């Protein structure tokens, strides 16, 4: 039985009725299968779909209906206008993390700054910075070997220079940096949201941290000064209810100008501070 693009989209929205983004989900799936942009899709709504296209769409629609994230189905997620390959070995880049990029770009840093992204995953943060600051030297650390390879692939596909290191936090790092950024695991293992939505499909190791989600944040804050230039900055993403604690840890460790920034939903999502040298001089 033949079916037009418009008909398929209507039916798909009904199948995905429980999704808050049913219309967008359906559109992204059919664009992925047809390999067309949005303008083409709505220019040719009466175009008939082939049997093979319908079969592929049926399989993908069922995967989405059961909750699998669109990014894992299509293998791509856009971040900072960059198309990034994603896989189940990485977190799916989220728009809220762009708040960190915006803050980093506002900082008064050297024209040839050295920057480090810890727990890079797809490479989203590091590559966004590389796209905006081509004179910076960008390094990224990732524990998961497959994810580290993916970050390198994304850098190559985008034609951006990124030094990807495989290891745990600062272990494979040498030298000092003008900027250190990270979106580390920060969810409490007991958080009920781990059984809801997209996070059900994402790697737990990239989501969960002990000590009520604060363990990795504490470790990074404690060790970062050993890798920061005097006057360098540390910016960290964290949970919506962790800003006060993270800012306190930063102050206790000796960071100056500590503050936080809010995400698209108005939640305090990124906290950071400026490092001073051990003798108190910036």
Q: What is the CA radius of gyration of the chain?
A: 21
Question: In the prediction, which pLDDT does 282 show?
Answer: 47
**Average pLDDT of every residue of the chain:** 91
Q: Which structure tokens are listed for 260? A: 């936080």
Beta-bridged to residue 164, according to DSSP, are 140
* Whether pLDDT at 231 is above 90: yes
Distances in Å between the Cα of 74 and the Cα atoms of 28, 56, 108, 174, 264 are 8, 12, 38, 36, 25
The Cα–Cα gap between 112 and 106 comes to: 15
Q: Which structure tokens are listed for 148? A: 């580290």
pLDDT confidence bin for 75, thresholds 50/70/90: very high
Residue 197 is classified by DSSP as G
Percent of the chain with pLDDT strictly greater than 70: 95
Asked if residue 169 lies in contact with residue 220, where contact means CB atoms within 8 angstroms, the answer is: yes
Query: What is the mean predicted confidence (pLDDT) over 232-257?
Result: 96
Three-class secondary structure assignment of 268-282 = EEEEEEECCCCCCCC
The Cα–Cα gap between 275 and 106 comes to: 16
pLDDT confidence bin for 1, thresholds 50/70/90: low
Asked if residue 29 lies in contact with residue 60, where contact means CB atoms within 8 angstroms, the answer is: yes
The Cα–Cα gap between 119 and 109 comes to: 22
List, edge to edge, every strand of the sheet that includes 228-237. Answer: 163-166, 137-142, 114-118, 177-182, 228-237, 268-274, 256-262
Percent of the chain with pLDDT strictly greater than 90: 79
Residue-wise pLDDT tens digits, 32-53: 999 999 999 989 989 999 999 9
Give how far the C-alpha of residue 273 lies from the chain's centroid of Cα atoms, to the nearest Å: 21
Residue 134 is classified by DSSP as T
The Cα–Cα gap between 129 and 118 comes to: 13
Residue-wise pLDDT tens digits, 152-163: 999 999 999 999
Question: In the prediction, which pLDDT does 230 show?
Answer: 95
The Cα–Cα gap between 127 and 235 comes to: 16
Question: In the prediction, which pLDDT does 20 show?
Answer: 81
Q: What ranges in the chain are assigned the alpha helix state H?
A: 5-15, 22-34, 38-43, 51-65, 70-74, 98-106, 124-132, 145-158, 210-213, 215-223, 243-253
The Cα–Cα gap between 132 and 118 comes to: 19
Residue-wise pLDDT tens digits, 167-223: 999 999 999 999 999 999 888 877 766 667 677 777 777 888 888 889 999 999 999
Q: Which domains, from first to last, does the chain contain?
A: 3-66 (1.10.8.10), 89-274 (3.40.50.150)
Residues in Cβ contact with 99 at an 8 Å cutoff, skipping those fewer than 6 apart: 261, 262, 263, 264, 269, 270
* Whether pLDDT at 277 is above 70: no
The Cα–Cα gap between 187 and 281 comes to: 35
């Amino acid at each position: 039985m033949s079916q037009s693009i418009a008909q398929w989209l209507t039916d798909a929205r009904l199948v995905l009725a429980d999704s808050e983004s049913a219309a967008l989900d359906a559109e992204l799936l059919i664009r992925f299968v047809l390999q067309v942009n949005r303008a083409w899709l709505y220019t040719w709504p009466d175009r008939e779909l082939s049997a093979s296209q319908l079969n592929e769409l049926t399989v993908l629609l069922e995967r989405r209906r059961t909750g699998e994230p669109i990014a894992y189905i299509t293998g791509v997620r856009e971040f900072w206008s960059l198309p990034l390959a994603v896989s189940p070995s990485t977190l799916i880049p989220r728009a809220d993390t762009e708040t960190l990029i915006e803050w980093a770009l506002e900082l008064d840093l050297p024209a040839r700054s050295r920057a480090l992204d810890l727990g890079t995953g797809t490479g989203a943060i590091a590559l966004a910075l590389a796209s905006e600051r081509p004179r910076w030297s960008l390094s990224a650390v990732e524990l998961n070997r497959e994810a580290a390879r993916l970050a390198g692939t994304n850098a190559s596909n985008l034609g951006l220079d990124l030094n990807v290191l495989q290891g745990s936090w600062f272990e494979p790092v040498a030298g000092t940096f003008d900027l250190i950024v990270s979106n580390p695991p920060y969810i409490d293992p007991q958080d009920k949201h781990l059984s809801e939505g997209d996070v059900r499909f994402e790697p737990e190791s990239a989501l969960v941290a002990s000590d009520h989600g604060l363990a990795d944040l504490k470790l990074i804050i404690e060790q970062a000064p050993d890798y920061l230039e005097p006057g360098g900055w540390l910016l960290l993403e964290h949970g919506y209810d962790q800003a006060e604690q993270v800012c306190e840890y930063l102050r206790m460790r000796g960071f100056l100008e500590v503050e936080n920034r809010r995400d698209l939903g108005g939640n305090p999502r990124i906290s950071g501070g400026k490092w001073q040298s051990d003798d108190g001089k910036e």
